[in-house]
Amino acid sequence: MDQLICKDLTSFKTYEGKDLPTGKWLTVSQKMINSFAEATQDFQWIHVDIAKSKKHSPFKKPIAHGFLSVSLLSKMLTDIVTVESVKMGVNYGLNKVRFPHPVPVDSRLRLHGKIEKTEPYGDNGLKITWVCTIEIENVEKPACVAEFVSLMFE
């Protein structure tokens, strides 16, 4: 199963406690890192200076911002879960987040996720707690492990 497709929030809730399909690989390019640096105004050389990173970094090339990994969660979840009746989704926050391993430029990432918990939210919404692990291809430790909370509304 490449994607979980549910008709509505009632059918979506039946997947609580279950693993989601594994996401597709996504490459973190230098252009993506530079765009994130521009958006966040975080231009630390370890992210954007290729020559300096090659010379002084223990990774020998730029690494992505940790928060870039977190920001990919919404996209990665949307790629593996669709609820056809949902009109709008909103990020609610994070309960926990860690960055066990840096993401060198040109790494490939993919999501392993689970629906940890669902709770009613207002008249037509659902609050979802997701357990998310972003894998780096050929690296034992993940890029990011997070308990991510979002809202969906029908």
- 93-112 pLDDT tens trace: 999 999 999 999 999 999 99
Q: What is the DSSP string of 13-66?
A: HTTTT-BPPPPPPEE--HHHHHHHHHHHT---HHHH-HHHHHHH-TTSS-B--H
Q: Per-residue b/e over 29-41, b at no fewer than 16 CB within 10 Å?
A: eeeebeebbeeee
> Is 80 a member of any domain?
yes
At 146 the pLDDT is 98
Cα–Cα distance between 26 and 43 in angstroms, integer?
23
At 2 the pLDDT is 86
Domain of 10 in residue numbering reads as 4-28+65-153
Report the predicted TM-score, pTM, of the whole model to 2 decimal places.
0.94
> Is 105 a member of any domain?
yes
> Is 42 a member of any domain?
no
At 5 the pLDDT is 96
Widest CA span of the chain, in angstroms?
56
Q: Read off the CATH number of the domain in which 119 is found.
A: 3.10.129.10
At 1 the pLDDT is 61
Q: Does 38 have pLDDT greater than 80? A: yes
Cα–Cα distance between 65 and 81 in angstroms, integer?
25
Tens-place pLDDT, residues 39-92: 999 999 999 999 999 999 999 999 999 999 999 999 999 999 999 999 999 999
Number of domains the chain contains: 1
